[in-house]
Amino acid sequence: MPTPGHTAGHQSLVLEASDGTVVLAGQALRSPAEWDGAVTPELSGAPGATDPRYAASVELLRALDPIRVHFAHDAAVWTRS
């Protein structure tokens, strides 16, 4: 799915697994901490984003209510508790 913001043509992958939705966010978000609401530059891509669609793309992914989210710049996987 298109998730512009980090770059104009950025896309994220959404998978429907047997246990729920899994998001491969790529560079749409920087880390699990950003997924949980962190906004500091070392944890979030938002402060450095030059494309105003960044926040909308993050909200689009959050609205999917995934069970797991994988990130390009952080090997940690966010898992819904």
Rounded Cα gap, residues 31 and 8, in angstroms: 20
For residue 57, what is the enclosing H or E element?
helix 54-62
Domain ranges of the chain: 13-79
pLDDT of residue 50: 84
Task: Tell me the whole-structure pTM to 2 decimals.
Answer: 0.92
Rounded Cα gap, residues 54 and 57, in angstroms: 5
pLDDT in tens, 12-55: 999 999 999 999 999 999 999 999 999 999 999 999 888 899 99
Cβ atoms 26, 72 nearer than 8 A: yes
Rounded Cα gap, residues 22 and 49, in angstroms: 24
Rounded Cα gap, residues 76 and 53, in angstroms: 25
